[in-house]
Amino acid sequence: MDHKGQIVFSTETPGRRAAITHRLASLTAACSIVLVLVAGLLTGGCITFKKQVPDVVGLTEERARARLEGAGFKFSAEYKADDKAEKGEVVEQSPEAGTRAEKDSTVAVLVAVSGKVEVPDLVGIPRDQALALLKKNLLKSNIQQQTVEEQARNEIILSQDPAPGTMLDAGAEVALVVGVYQDGEIEEEIEEGERVKKTRRVTCQTCGGSGVISENYTEQETVACPTCGGKGAIAGPNGMEICPTCGGSGTITQTVTKTRQVTCPTCGGTGYVIEEYWVYE
């Protein structure tokens, strides 16, 4: 049929065309997200949502803790002597600010303390408590033992050098004398002709009298992936691709060796052992 002379009306307006274009773009973006998720599952990866680590360097320890915990991260602090920074100021953090990390992961900070630290009052308290106080004040211990007749003074600090209140460089040693109770029944004599066998307490050679030794152990730690820098994706020929090292998680697990103090297995933590010896009488 000849339609010459007829007027044809179109229902497709510019606004309608724009709406259709917008819907197509949204659908394309959604499909892209689905494809990335499916690719992660097929490659054994785990797609996780990460948060940006806030910058806490320069803040006080209290403010740094509040900011990190408020952002959904756990807080861990270590301390170092640093005369260039303000006392209590965060001088380093790991992961660094701006890094994307999983929620509830730990952010470790290094807090500056002044180069000089005060020696606490340790006389009259148990050895374990004294060692804990020294560690808290960034000081080391040098322990000597002294026999005491009162059982109540066993494992109690009898004296210290230098005196409480003295200012020392962080990491310096404080000499301690700890009481070791001897009940008087430690020596026994067994006559065998002209020889007599006796026993005595001697300093444990394994721990040097401290009652503890250093022990190495391994621990699994989660760190940012070195390949993608914690982002979970790397640039590929066709755009961003899931990181093959971490499978998209942005983190890897590595084994680290650490050192801890444990009870001496030779003396059981007493700092001494019983030694037998013979004398002629």
> Cα(279)–Cα(194) distance, rounded to whole angstroms?
9
Per-residue pLDDT tens digits for 32-49: 555 555 555 554 444 557
Whether residue 9 is predicted with pLDDT greater than 50 in this model: the reply is no
* Segments in the chain forming alpha helices (H): 14-42, 61-70, 127-136
The full set of domain ranges for the chain reads 50-114, 117-183
Whether residue 177 is predicted with pLDDT greater than 90 in this model: the reply is yes
Percent of the chain with pLDDT over 90: 32
Name the DSSP letter for residue 163.
Answer: -
* Equal fold, 50-114 vs 117-183: yes
Q: Which residue type sits at 223?
A: V
Topology (CATH) of 117-183: Trypsin Inhibitor V; Chain A (3.30.10)
Tokens standing for 83? 């005369």
Burial 132-155 (b: 16+ CB within 10 A, else e): ebbeebbbebebebeebeeeebbb
Could you tell me how far CA 214 lies from the centroid of its own chain?
17
pTM recorded for the entire structure: 0.35
Who wins on pLDDT, 84 or 206? 206
Per-residue pLDDT tens digits for 240-281: 889 999 988 989 988 878 888 888 888 888 888 888 776 655
Where residue 129 falls among pLDDT bands split at 50, 70, 90? Answer: very high
CATH code matching the domain that covers 50-114, chosen among 3.40.50.720, 3.40.50.1360, 3.30.390.50, 3.30.10.20: 3.30.10.20
pLDDT score for 214: 84
Task: Spell out the residues 6+ positions from residue 64 whose beta carbon is closer than 8 angstroms to its own.
Answer: 56, 75, 90, 93, 109
